[in-house]
Structure 1
Amino acid sequence: MDETAALSTLAVIGWGALGVFIGAIASIAVSLSIRVVVRRRESIRHLVRHMRMSLRIFLMLLGGGIAVLIATGPSPYFAGPTWRPTFRQIFIIVMIFATAMLLTGLIRAVEDSVLHRRRDDDDAEETPHYRRVRTQMQVVDRVLIAVVWVCALAGALLTFPSFRAVGTSLIASAGLLSIVAGLAVQSSLSNIFAGMQIAFSDALRVGDLVVFNEQMGSVEEITLTYVVVRTWDDRRWIVPSSHFATQPFENWTRREPQLLGTVEFDLDWLVPVEAMRVELTRLVNASDLWDGRSVNLQVTESTGGHVRLRAVVSARTSGDLWDLRCYIREEMINWVQRHAVYALPRTRLEPETTPAPPVEEREEFVDQVVEQWEQEQSVEETRLLPEPEPEDDAVIDDGALPKWLQSWLVQRHKGDESAPEPRPAKESRAELTLSSTSPQARLYSGSPEAEERNRKLSGPSAADMAEREKTAERRLRTGEQPKVEGEVEVEGEAEGEGRGEVEGGGEGKGAGSAVESGSSPEYLVETHVIAKVEDRPRAD
């Protein structure tokens, strides 16, 4: 009896080994076939790389399990071993997880294939479009893999009869359990939905440079529950996804990586601003960190015993901007030390050396300034006046008059020969001296880049502001006239009697036609029509 059992065990092991060998041969054949296809289509290369091992394991387990089940199957002379049902259940569970592993490799292969195709289409690896697709594919990849393994775990548990009964009771009490589970994993669910929102709203991408909680770094990874941010000193911040969905943050590479940076100097009142401006221009032109877009130097403050100069420069990336700012700060300090030592900041304690003039001289100075300004304004107004045109009655057609009358008119208008020559009128001129007109002295004007910056920061246009004013007035009037709906209905009763005023002036037909066609009174209010009806009894 023992020898028969031993022979049966060896036979089962032999069948299992034969099945594993057949599965390995099948996996090798499939791999060779796929390699032949890969030579013709490059897009399948990622499929082979991710599914080679998982497919081999799946086929070997499948072959070995089927061989063992065939070897231990019931027959007219053999009822089969007692452990066959247990082995069958274990084989089903193993195949469920092997299938999940195979699907995981397939999902990752599809992700790499899509990213590879996008990279070839864009002819660059780190374009904004490629980073957006990569971020979304990473989130979708994680969601699908999580769904696959949850389903695999559920399928493995359902192979046990006891868990089937538990599943039936869970379905019966799903309402209460869903409430309890929702309260228990509220924060986790919020992070999951926030991660999906970040990925598909395109508010954040892998590789973006962000600033949050006074920390700056690049987004290294976006998952369903957290975002990995790598700082400049190679630290990693693990930030919950809900933080980026609910809290404000700075994204320096949302559209383009180009940035503007400032360098400030507190110097003495004697500082040669124009000379520093020229030196700043020379420095940025000699540096390979400047992208050639913007450079200017302005006096932004002149209080507290010193003046504050702010230099604004531009660079291609945030790293170039940091190095450029440090370079300008160092070189400008060296320039001040060599060429303008008198401009170094200092605190003055000295007696009064410039006494104020008498009151009469100060009042005379004020009068002179006012008079000069009035002269400048009069010259400007005279320049803007149109050229005088001759009146109709002063135009004389010489060809229509007789010759004797023409000669008489000439002698009459010649006047006295002894009269003094007329002197030309004294023309008053006023010269305006501009303080600085160089483009480097202006941040919002003087160059196309500055004009474009001024346009972006100028706020809404006049048409938008007028539309806002009209909307505010319409809402105000709507709130003051709560019976607009009834009034419109009265106007719709008779076309001849129902007359309304159109907002903005003028009379027009009442809103009765709109009401008759099925439009609501709210629609009439939104189309800037306000109906006014005289106090009269309503017709029955």
Structure 2
Amino acid sequence: MIKRSLFLVTFAASLLLWLGVAVAEEAFFETEALNTGLGVAPERVDRSTPRATVETLFRLGALGDWEAAAHVLDLSALPPGLQAEQGAELARKLKSVLDRKIIIDWSQIVDRPDALDARASSRAATSGMARKSLRLWEFDLGPVPSSIRINRIAADGGEPVWVFSERTVENILPLYAEFGPTRFEQWLPKSLRKDAFWGLMWWEFIGLPLLISAAVAVGLAVRSGVRAVRRKATARLSKKIIQAASTPLIVAAITTVIWWGAANLFVFSGRINVLVSPLVAVGFVTALLMLILNTLEQVLDALVGFEDIDLTTRQEAQNREMATKVAALRRVLALAIFLIGAGIVFSTANIFEWLGLSILASAGAIPLILGFAAQKVLANIMASLQISLNQSAKVGDRVVFKDHLCHVERINFTYVQLRDWDGTRLVVPVEEFANETFENWTLKEPEMLRILKFKLLPDVDLEALREAHREVIGSLDPEELDDTQKAKVVVTGQDVFGIDVWFYVPCADPNTSWDVACQAREALVDHMNRIARQTKTPIFPEATPAEAA
């Protein structure tokens, strides 16, 4: 009984599966007639699968056999008497548009009669379904995009075939007018309009360098014009705004020439257009966002500019904090503008679709790849924002980083610029600067205590040293000193060589404390030598290098 039940279940499942396949294979549009004006399709016309139909158009087009290529179009909108004549011309124009606007990724065109995509995810809406209509590509044409679509049609009970849809055929002429060869290209000699290699025509190898040269020439002319206008400007803010607009105007001028030339003079093939179209979008968006960002920076400089202020002095603590916050605001604005620009470019230029990366983009792989590639840059950007927000190091602060006594000059997106005490600059990646331990002599209170450490003999006269220390403190510039009550002499330790004596020098400004400490050390050594001569008693221990080690 159980075996009989299992047999019935298996038989029913097999029957349902067979019926499902049979139904799937019957997915097509029915029509009374298809391209009766063309006659019977020759054997060289293969319309059995979507890929075969597209391949037939390009294969016969390369041979110039447009009469046969017309069979891959649904010419139902044309009277039968005009189908043979106009069908060949429409096939030629469709191939021309596809050549100029796309690079075909053949792996993305299904090669099954039922157009069932076996690679589709189980969660996809069309998973496991036979299809009778496929959208291959889409072009911006007027207010409404135009789709290139192929349908599976069975005429008068015949075998179903795949052809470019009737709606697509109706849009061929508008598409050709928009993306086909320009009037200038049609004036070129036929020898230049022939195919060369790599899917390009001879004129493209000449036209592209000419267009780039013209764009560069216009960019140089715009740069000269902007410089002339800037020289004539008298107001400081006007000069800054003109300077801020200089680079965006140059980028916009170059992009405009390339865009106009590619649209009106040279309609390039898909292999070139796939790069030109996104680059034009990137150029315009970059120019606009650079103009906004540069203008905001110049306005901020004019409102809270610190160019004429020495931020390293102790009196400029508030300005140091303000300068660091302004720098953080600039980075936030720059990052936000960059993200907005990237979103605009990716959404308007259809970069993933043109490059055949739509599957990767939809699966989220492209963001992961870009994120991994930009991991180091993003880490530096976030570290710079962290430093600016927590104020651990401000512009103008005096810091000791890896034994370098420096001032913080700039906190940029990816690096911190430090000015060493001898005037040299250290360029440190922001992430490294944020992860390393460093001394900030200006943090919280600018006053600091410098300690001069000496190794002296145990029988040294400490009172004489304290008197000498008081004289040294009294000889220093009072403006450079903090509360002199903090000046003292203490013994902090001893060993076989002698005692450790520390001399405290209270300094008011960390920027000058190192110089003040050097002066105090020099004066103390001079006083100690004088005491040693007067008492005829040595002060410093005598030890050989080996003993000292």
Larger Rg: 1
TM-score, structure 2 length as denominator? 0.47
TM-score (norm 1): 0.47
